[in-house]
Structure 1
């Protein structure tokens, strides 16, 4: 599984002619890195003198970010698997009308799943952007740049994941599905760009 590769192995596999891991898996990895940085800053704040008032909040954030990290690591493989399912559907037999219908149905279902996986990654990454902003504002000031990088990684993860949603929507024939997901994508994309600017502007270096 991709999640069990070393950093060097993951980079080598990404750089190879294999289509997986691709942008979707990398988006999930970026979000997991954002989670890790926010968790680190929270842990560097817990129990430290001068931060007693936020100790309970930092413990809650550390727990949340750990859960996101665990989930997003799984999404690295989930995204790759959704891509493989699309490829498999396109490879189905199409000699008869019945086979063509089954193939078309399978392709459309696989494409929908391939859009929903990165959409969930984008949503989780958006939550992590907010958590990164919180640790930047209230956490250990010696790690404020780590929190800032977490904000930026979360933003990148959101936008990267949404691009993968969009590319799948282009091939989906269900107009109600496309319209609904497109509205979610556009709203999240607009919000995340504004929130990154707001959060980074609050970081005083």
Structure 2
């Protein structure tokens, strides 16, 4: 389980010669870091907030980030599992016509799974960016830079995951699914850029 490794061990595996972990797991890790940092800042703000409504909002966001952090952490391993399933599908026998048909069906199924793993990360990370912005609105000068770091990590997760999704679906035979996932992935990237830019513009005001 990659999520059980130390940071140093994970980095060494990522830098290694094996095919995984790679961009999918790294993007999920980036999203998990964004959630962790946002959770931390929200808790800090809540502990100093005298307004009960504002405090409750930060506590709710903290809980959401905690749940997302756990989900993104699981995605680090899910991406590798999906790759391994695809690799196994390519190793299936193709001696008979039935073998070839079963192999092809399993490959297509595994490709879609491999594409959806990072797609899910991108989708969740885009939604997370809205909560990061809400935390920024209550952050002080000492913590706003941490909020920006969280937003940048989230944006990186969206871009990386979306690009990986678009790359994985190239082998799908269903053109309808390819078109749909490509459009949604492009939309995620545009939204992520807009949300990060909105935060930076808001800070400069």
Separation of aligned partners in 1, 2:72 and 2:140:
25
| CA shift in 2, pair 1:49/1:137, >3 Å | closer
Separation of aligned partners in 1, 2:82 and 2:40:
31
In structure 1, the residue matched to 2:18 is 18
SS in 2 for 1:170: helix
Separation of aligned partners in 2, 1:193 and 1:204:
17
Deviation at 1:193, TM superposition (A): 1.1
Ranges of 4+ aligned residues in structure 1 off by more than 4 Å: 49-53
Separation of aligned partners in 2, 1:116 and 1:131:
23
Worse-superposed segment, 47-56 or 23-32: 47-56
SS in 1 for 2:196: helix
Calculate the TM-score normalised by the size of structure 1.
0.95
Alpha-carbon contact 2:163-2:185 (below 8 Å) kept: no
In structure 2, the residue matched to 1:5 is 5
Deviation at 1:124, TM superposition (A): 0.9
Asked if residue 192 in structure 1 is aligned to residue 202 in structure 2, the reply is no
Worse-superposed segment, 3-12 or 52-61: 52-61
Calculate the TM-score normalised by the size of structure 2.
0.95
Worse-superposed segment, 140-149 or 60-69: 140-149
In structure 2, the residue matched to 1:175 is 175
Deviation at 1:53, TM superposition (A): 4.6
Alignment size in residue pairs = 205
5+ residue gaps in structure 1? none
Root-mean-square deviation (CA, aligned residues, Å) is: 1.4
